Every structure is written in C-alpha cells, then in structure tokens.
Amino acid sequence: MPIELVSSTKSFDGLQQQYRHQSAVLDCPMHFSIFVPQKADREEKQRYPVLYWLSGLTCTDANFSQKAGAQRLAAALGIALVIPDTSPRGDDVADDPAYDLGQGAGFYVNATQQPWKQHYRMYDYIVKELPQLVEANFSVSQRRAISGHSMGGHGALVIALRNPERYTSVSAFSPICNPIACPWGEKALGAYLGADTTGWEEYDASVLVGRAETHLPLLISQGDKDEFLEDQLRPEALQLAAEACGYPIRLEHHAGYDHSYYFIASFIEEHLRFHADFLLKNNPVA
C-alpha cells in the first residue's frame, strides 16, 4: 500500500512526519502523523514499540504532534508515536454543519447508516488498516499501546477493551466514558448506528468494561475544571462499572485543569512513562 510523504521535520534527533495514503477501509485519502526516534545505540534489527494517539472533536492528526510536547520523552524512551486523523475527509465524504458530527467527528465507530456507512469506518481503520500500514513501512514493532483525548479517549478505551490482545496498555485524557448517556454520544451514535441502542453498547467503555475478560493497565486523567465534565464525559459511570466488575483502573483527578491541550501537555509525560512500563517491559525497543 503506497504512502506519500507530505512533510518531515527533525525533532529531538527523531523525525516528525506526515503522510498521505488512499484508505481502502474508508474509501478516501487519509493523513496520519508519525514520530519515530533515532536512537544511536539501537541495533539494526530492533524496532520501536508504538503509542497510537486518537484526537478529539474538530482535531486533525496535527493537533497532538504540535501541541502536546510528547516528542522529547518519546525519543528518550524509544517509543514511536502514531497520530491518525479523526475522520474521513473530502468533497465526496458525507458531512454535517455541526462540529460534533461528520468530518472531524468520526467517533471511532463503524457506521451502519446512510449517508455515513461508505466512509465512516474509523474503528476498522484504527484497529486494522493503519497498524498494518505503519508496521509495513516504518521501523516499528507489533507492540502497541493506545491513548487519546475526549472523543479520542472514548475511541482508545473502546478499541482497547474490545481488542486487549493487540495492546499492552490504554490511557485517556478527559474521555467520553459513557456515550450512550451523553448528548455528544447520543447524537453521533444515533446518526452513525441508527435508532437501535443495543448496537451502541459496543462503543461504550462503561458497558464494555463489565464484559472484559482481559484486564489491561488503564490510566485516565481528568481535570476538575473541564467544562464538559458533568454533561458529556461522565468518568464516574466508568469508575462505578469498573468497581462493580473488579476491573482495576487508575482515575486521576487534577485540580484546576480544563479540557484543553494545556492539560494534555501538563501530564503527557506521566502517560508516556505509564505506557513505557508495559511497551518496553522485558523487550526494550524490540
């Protein structure tokens, strides 16, 4: 599957790059960003483990790479970063005037309803197509962790809970924890999946945690001044569900922090070190 280099910038002796490719899953061109360290002491055969980052509503693949400040520590630890776009895009891709539906708001689901189902299959893109593409074209291994913010935090939690064999760990900043019971989720899931709410549960972390047979290490960071905390994010629903079934989660509340990338930049080091404990365990840069 060919990929086209769009931009390349040196950062902390690694390369921060953006690529474009034609997605078979999404039936449209897609962009993704990737940071690959360049450790001088790495053996030729060694490959870097990968942290996949899923961004939130209205974001592209550029927000995290430009605002989070993750490259310095990723380079030092020897972890590659892969940042996909948040939805399919293009003139032929269905859209909506609102910011929380359509382009920029893919919600990491496989849509089943018109006019969305032709292109909006972000779940399959993140779980299958993108890792295959990255692992075939870059010096990375099949050791993966996943994280994200807001809508992307929702995506990271759902994807990890449904596919624990594919990831060493999962984390999220300010995730939408219970989308079947919040305005953002009700709108998006209703549009993409239809009126039958039983299908929505496959994309709700607060439901999936109770069904999980494998317990991945799970970290959530939440600011207590987040303007979306009460109505949209509902971390208490996930915490209660996890406690009920004995799924251990680390939910950290941070006083004074909001929903912005200032919050992410403040605690991204903690999340990278959390994932490094599992990505590099007994297999450093392998």
Active site positions, annotated? 150, 226, 259
- Token representation of residue 185: 């989720």
β-pairing, 3-11 vs 14-23, is: antiparallel
Instruction: Tell me the DSSP string of 216-281.
Output: --EEEEEETT-TTIIIII-HHHHHHHHHHHT---EEEEETT--SSHHHHHHHHHHHHHHHHHHHST
Contacts of residue 159, Cβ cutoff 8 Å, sequence gap at least 6? 54, 108, 123, 126, 127, 146, 167
* CA distance linking residue 155 with residue 161, whole number of Å: 10
Contact partners, residue 229, CB within 8 Å, separation at least 6: 174, 222, 223, 235
Q: Which amino acid is at 172?
A: A
